[in-house]
Structure 1
Amino acid sequence: MLPDVLIAGGGIGGLAAALACRRAGCRVRLYERAAEFSEVGAGIQLGPNVVRVLQGWGLEAALAQVVARPDRVWARRAADGATLASLPLADFPQRYGAPYLCIHRADLHELLLNVLQREQADSLWLHAGRALETYEASADSVRVRFEDGLEVEGDLLIGADGLWSRVRAQLLGDGPPRGTGHLAYRALVRQAELPAALRSTCVTVWLGPGLHVVQYPVRGGDWLNVVAIVEGAAPADPAHWDHAASTAELQARLVDACALLRELVAAVPSWRLWALNDRPPVQGAAQMAQSRVALLGDAAHPMRPYLAQGAGMAIEDAAELGRLLGQARELGALIDTPVLLQRYALNRWQRNAQVQARAARNGRIYHLRGPVAWVRDAGLRLLGAKLMDQPWLYGGG
């Protein structure tokens, strides 16, 4: 008998988990604290490790309608615009079994939500406006109580409720996330509104002292996503991720950058500011699952965005959970839910910890100053694509 799955959180990770569990034949109930299902933010990059999962769920055609397909990743020096290295992406489908894609976060969220709503039946329920307050796990079930007093019971609870997860707070009691000392300025601009020299079909990373800027196309290439990450103090309310920010603030940070990068920043009409928070890399399976409760995505392993794998690791988590549930169904086995969740955690925690650590390391490398930055630049010029490619990441999952 397959379990009755309760999911807290209706973001990309929660929806991916619902889809994976539903495809495994489970009864799924998902609860989102916001009054409606929506997603904020800007673009995200999907490496082939993530695209393979989405294609395996039959979403290839739907993805094709909303993604951009960058042809190359460039690394450039912010100070003078010099090209340091590039990684061609055209052969990724042959090398890794799927392409490298860019997508607006809201488009991916809507895609997953639409699939679930089409499949919604007696075995799937999506509930908005339900904020988890607490849960109680026993030997036989898990009972969840919401802020409005509603109580529900299931066989397992998946905490996919993000960086400030209430499920994690009760499961691990390890305090709030830590500030990274990095701030992300995010913006989207129509490419048609940009001068021709600023439009782009590729991913470009501009490296500078104490900062870097990333730009890439989304929404079929019609829009350009721009993210500038600088070192600085967090806003007064770090738990509220999105803060208004002015172009002047960012321009002051980039006063020594090359003309092309300064022109790009000046051409963006408005920015939003995000204080980056994370947690140390996962230390063991017990940090991802205990008894009948498991964590997924940012609730389990929030990470810095310097490998572009935050959403990707959540989707991989969901795929592994669905794989184990599907395997149990195929074997016709009576599932011991705590054992299944422990296996999920054992199969995921080390990869997630590796990505967390590599992402943090990338951030330090991107922001190098002085002579060590010259060494970094020389290494990129010498080894180029070999340094930028990530076979361990794109071929795994």
Structure 2
Amino acid sequence: MKKQVLVAGGGIGGLAAALGASRAGWDVRLYERAAAFSEVGAGVQIGPNVVRRLQAWGLQQRLQAVAAFPTQLQVRCALSGRELAVLPLGAQAVQRYGAAYATIHRADLQALLLAAVQESAEVQLNLGLSIDGYTQGDGVVLVRTSAGKEVEGDALIGADGLWSRTRTQLLADGPPRVTGHLAYRALARQGALPKRLRTAQITVWLGPRLHAVQYPVRGGALQNLVVIVQGQPPEDLQNWDHSANASGLAQALAGTCTALQDVVRAAPGAGQGWRLWPLSDRPPLRSAAQMAQGLVALLGDAAHPMRPYLAQGAGMAIEDAAQLQHAMAMHDLEVPLRLRRYALNRWERNARVQARSQRNGRIFHATGLVRWGRDLSLRLLGARLLDLPWLYRGDGSSASLL
């Protein structure tokens, strides 16, 4: 008789977890609070380490149809506009790491995972329902849904995001921490932008206490633009109006170069305007027990929310799901040992990515002599400083840390 896993959360992490568990031979019941699968428009970068995971699930063709594959990553000074360094991507990324570097609309990534999950007879999707709590014992986990119903399973995967209820009960470690960084996000139709503002590459603009990133998504039809500044977040982080104040962004960018300000000013007219998110995270993981205990495991942002300065938030969730699949297929082990194996193979890599993301944020937003030294290092070392073999060659296991 097949074992049954209950998955809390229907975002990228939850869908990836459901896909991995079903491929491991488990029946899956996924619970998503929203009444329909939807995703606020934003771009996602997925490195070769993540693209290989999607390829292993047979999703390369679907990825090819909706993603963009930038030719290079360029770093520029946000004040002068001067180029600081370039990392070739495209065919060179495939040659180095066996897979491309892709940029994709978050909704498109969610949609291709959803389509794969819907094709599996082993997955049951439950929309408009969340998992509010659980108990575990005697080899069984019993969850309580928002409809007041109790459902029994052999394991529970909490992939319910930054404000995970599963994590709250499992670890009781309080809310996420506020970073003091605010992200302005916009999507623009490339065809509606002046030709000089369109792009087929990733451009990162580094400035004092801020940085911006732009890149193509949806096969190049759209351009994703995000500007992250240091500022005061709203008091209520879970319930507030995401509509951004364009004047606040303009004020934050005062003193930056014309080239950056031109694309920032043009983006709203070629899209749907700016949206604003306060960024929160948690300290890097310290042990495998923070990812799995007994019959309950955490995945993605529920386990290791991270700052976006390594572009690996969605990627680490997908790597988690691939390792979860591997562990859950170990049918000669008891379920708690399978989940512990999953956590042991993931926590150190996730912790390293979390710590490196925090460090990158400090470097990206540096001022004074630190900023001067950063720019000099980029000009001298270029691609050697931007390339990350330890990350892009990683296979999602603890061995990839070596």
TM-score normalised according to structure 1 size:
0.97
Structure 1 residue 93, shift from structure 2 partner: 1.0
Match of 1:391 in 2: 389
Please tell me whether the aligned partners of residues 211 and 228 of structure 2 are also in contact (alpha carbons under 8 angstroms). yes
Match of 1:289 in 2: 292
3-state SS in 1 of match to 2:174: coil
Instruction: Tell me if 1:325 matches 2:309.
Output: no
Instruction: In structure 1, give the amino acid aligned to 2:60.
Output: E
Structure 1 residue 243, shift from structure 2 partner: 1.0
Match of 1:57 in 2: 57
Instruction: In structure 2, give the amino acid aligned to 1:111.
Output: L
Match of 2:5 in 1: 5
Match of 1:112 in 2: 113
Please tell me whether the aligned partners of residues 328 and 335 of structure 2 are also in contact (alpha carbons under 8 angstroms). no
3-state SS in 2 of match to 1:65: helix
Q: Match for 1:336 among 334, 337, 341?
A: 334
Greater shift, 168-177 or 20-29, is seen at: 20-29
Instruction: In structure 2, give the amino acid aligned to 1:115.
Output: A
Please tell me whether the aligned partners of residues 5 and 158 of structure 1 are also in contact (alpha carbons under 8 angstroms). yes
Cα distance in 1 for residues equivalent to 2:5 and 2:105: 28
Structure 1 residue 236, shift from structure 2 partner: 2.9
Match of 1:355 in 2: 353
Cα distance in 2 for residues equivalent to 1:241 and 1:156: 34
Please tell me whether the aligned partners of residues 328 and 339 of structure 2 are also in contact (alpha carbons under 8 angstroms). no
Instruction: Tell me if 1:265 matches 2:264.
Output: yes
Please tell me whether the aligned partners of residues 212 and 230 of structure 1 are also in contact (alpha carbons under 8 angstroms). yes
Structure 1 residue 41, shift from structure 2 partner: 3.8
1:159-212 deviations in whole A, cap 9, x for unaligned? 000000000000000000000000000000001111111110000000000000
Cα distance in 2 for residues equivalent to 1:236 and 1:336: 44
Instruction: In structure 1, give the amino acid aligned to 2:28.
Output: V
Match of 1:304 in 2: 307
Match of 2:229 in 1: 230
**Relative to 1, partners in 2 of residues 1:22 and 1:242: Cα closer, same or farther, differing over 3 Å?**
farther
Cα distance in 2 for residues equivalent to 1:240 and 1:233: 16
Structure 1 residue 28, shift from structure 2 partner: 0.6
Structure 1 residue 2, shift from structure 2 partner: 5.1
Cα distance in 2 for residues equivalent to 1:108 and 1:255: 34
Equivalent runs, 1:1-397 vs 2, <5 Å: 3-89=3-89, 90-119=91-120, 121=121, 123-240=122-239, 243-269=242-268, 270-326=273-329, 328-329=330-331, 333=332, 335-396=333-394, 397=396
Instruction: In structure 2, give the amino acid aligned to 1:4.
Output: Q
- Following TM superposition, the consecutive aligned residue runs of length 4 or more in structure 1 with deviations greater than 6 angstroms are none
Instruction: In structure 1, give the amino acid aligned to 2:12.
Output: I
Gaps of 5+ in 1: none
Cα distance in 2 for residues equivalent to 1:237 and 1:389: 38
Cα distance in 2 for residues equivalent to 1:182 and 1:294: 29
3-state SS in 1 of match to 2:316: helix
3-state SS in 2 of match to 1:213: strand
3-state SS in 1 of match to 2:310: coil
Match of 2:399 in 1: none
Structure 1 residue 106, shift from structure 2 partner: 0.3
3-state SS in 1 of match to 2:63: helix
Please tell me whether the aligned partners of residues 247 and 265 of structure 1 are also in contact (alpha carbons under 8 angstroms). no
Instruction: In structure 2, give the amino acid aligned to 1:375.
Output: G
Q: Percent identity?
A: 61
**What is the RMSD computed on CA atoms of the aligned residues?**
1.1
Structure 1 residue 388, shift from structure 2 partner: 0.4
Instruction: In structure 2, give the amino acid aligned to 1:322.
Output: Q
Cα distance in 1 for residues equivalent to 2:48 and 2:236: 35
Structure 1 residue 241, shift from structure 2 partner: 7.4
1:76-121 deviations in whole A, cap 9, x for unaligned? 00001000000001311121110000000000001111121122x2
Instruction: In structure 2, give the amino acid aligned to 1:336.
Output: E
Cα distance in 1 for residues equivalent to 2:77 and 2:351: 29
**Relative to 1, partners in 2 of residues 1:92 and 1:343: Cα closer, same or farther, differing over 3 Å?**
same
**Relative to 1, partners in 2 of residues 1:325 and 1:242: Cα closer, same or farther, differing over 3 Å?**
farther
Please tell me whether the aligned partners of residues 30 and 126 of structure 1 are also in contact (alpha carbons under 8 angstroms). yes
Cα distance in 2 for residues equivalent to 1:200 and 1:4: 46
Cα distance in 1 for residues equivalent to 2:241 and 2:320: 26
Greater shift, 169-178 or 84-93, is seen at: 84-93
1:226-260 deviations in whole A, cap 9, x for unaligned? 00000001023212476111222111111101101
Please tell me whether the aligned partners of residues 3 and 337 of structure 1 are also in contact (alpha carbons under 8 angstroms). no
3-state SS in 2 of match to 1:136: strand
Instruction: In structure 1, give the amino acid aligned to 2:174.
Output: G
Cα distance in 2 for residues equivalent to 1:283 and 1:235: 29
Instruction: In structure 2, give the amino acid aligned to 1:371.
Output: L
3-state SS in 1 of match to 2:70: coil
Structure 1 residue 325, shift from structure 2 partner: 2.2
Greater shift, 258-267 or 238-247, is seen at: 238-247
3-state SS in 2 of match to 1:306: helix
TM-score normalised according to structure 2 size:
0.95
Aligned length, in residue pairs:
390
